[in-house]
Amino acid sequence: MSKAHVSDAVIRRLPMYYRHLKELERAGVERISSRELGERMNLTASQIRQDINCFGGFGQQGYGYRVSELRWHIGEILGLEKNYEVIIVGAGNIGRAVANYDGFTKEGFFVRAIFDVSPALIGMDIHGIPVQPMDSLNGWLREHRADIAVLSVPASQAQQTADTLVEAGIKAIWNFAPVDLHLPEDVVSNHVHLSDSLHILTYRMNEEALFKSIEENARTGGQEQI
C-alpha cells in the first residue's frame, strides 16, 4: 500500500465517494455494502473495494462500510479536516464567483485576499474583501499564510502569474486558466478547464452522428475519413 498504487482515476473518484457518503449520512443511512454503494455511483462492487483498499480498507467482510466512518476517513484522505487560507489572483468573472461562493467557507476554505493587475478592479469590494494590486502580493504574503492560490487570470497571463506565485512561496494552485501550467515538483495544482468540459459536452451531443459518418465513409471507401 503506497502512493505509487493510487492512480489518477482513483484520486478523481475520491471526491465522488465523499459526496455520496455525505448524502447517505444526511439521509440517515448507517451502513452500506460495496454493491449498494457501487450501484449508486455506477461502479462495480469490486471497484469500490479496490479503491478503498488503496488507503487501508475500512470495511468488514459481510458487513459493509459504516457510512459516517468511511465518510470521515475519506474526508481525512482528502485533507478536508483542515482549514485552508486562500488567495484569489484575478478578480474577473471566475475569481468573483469563487470569492462569492459561501459553500467553500463552510468546508474550511477561507478567502483572505484578492489580487488583480487591472486599475478598474483594484479597490473593488468582493464579498467584503478589497481587490489589491498584484504588486502587493509579496508584501501581503510576508505577513499572512496562504495555502492555496486560485489562479483566475486570462490564459495569456497564466504561466507568468503562476511563476510569480511560486516565487512568492505558494505551494498549491487551483487553476481556472485554460492553460496547462509548468510548475516545480514541490508545487501541486489542479485545473478546472471550463471550456474543456463544455467541449466534452458538445462531443457527446455529436458522437452518434460522428460515428455514423465515419462508418458510412468506411463502407463507401471514401478517402475522407470524417
Contact 115, 89 (CB under 8 A): yes
Nearer to its own copies, 127 or 135 (CB): 127
Task: Report phi then psi at 119, rounded to 5.
Answer: -55, -30
Q: Which three cell numbers mark 66?
A: 459504516
CB of 135 to its own copies, least distance (A): 26
Nearer to its own copies, 23 or 135 (CB): 23
Q: How far apart are CA 5 and CA 203, in angstroms?
A: 31
CB of 221 to its own copies, least distance (A): 13
Residues with Cβ within 8 Å of residue 151, at least 6 apart in sequence: 89, 90, 158, 161, 162, 165, 173, 174, 175, 176, 177, 181
CB of 134 to its own copies, least distance (A): 21
Task: Report phi then psi at 212, rounded to 5.
Answer: -60, -45
CB of 137 to its own copies, least distance (A): 20
Question: Which residues, in sequence order, are bridge partners of residue 149?
Answer: 87, 173
Nearer to its own copies, 139 or 218 (CB): 218
Contact 14, 74 (CB under 8 A): yes
Nearer to its own copies, 109 or 115 (CB): 109
Nearer to its own copies, 15 or 130 (CB): 15
Q: Which three cell numbers mark 1?
A: 500500500
CB of 192 to its own copies, least distance (A): 5
